[in-house]
Amino acid sequence: MAYIDVCKQSLLYEGELVPCMAGGKEIIIMWPDGGQPKAYDAACPHEKVSLARGDFNGRILYCIAHGWVFDGHSGKCLQPTGWKLQEYPLRMADGMVQVDLDAG
């Protein structure tokens, strides 16, 4: 495991999405309403358009490119089904958000 810092914990808010860079890779930290923050690869599994500018309403993330819809809690694609965002382990340490890209 190799956790690396990606942003300050104070930048995260429930119901919001925060884009970050981690080891040269673009990721998103998505904190769904009533859930916990999770880290995902920002590349949409459809055609790799960045989800950093996706439309997140606290429950569902819409890809702005072609409208694929992802569940904010699980990263599973709801429309169309059968796809999932690449998730990375996330932890908080010393006021920082850290992710482990090796475990993705």
For ligand FES, the binding residues (CB under 6 A) are 44, 46-47, 49, 63, 65-66, 68
Residue 71: phi, psi to the nearest 5?
-75, 130
**Nearest distance in Å: CB 5, ligand FES:** 28
Please report how close the Cβ of residue 53 comes to ligand FES at its closest, in angstroms: 11
Q: Which is nearer to ligand FES, 63 or 97 (CB)?
A: 63
Contact 87, 100 (CB under 8 A): no
Q: Which is nearer to ligand FES, 47 or 102 (CB)?
A: 47
CA distances from 83 to 4, 37, 92 (A): 27, 20, 28
Least separation in angstroms between residue 19's CB and ligand FES is: 15
- Of 46 and 76, nearer to ligand FES (C-beta) is 46
Q: Which is nearer to ligand FES, 20 or 63 (CB)?
A: 63
Q: Pairing state of beta strands 55-56 and 69-71?
A: unpaired
Whether the Cβ atoms of residue 61 and residue 72 lie closer than 8 Å to each other: yes
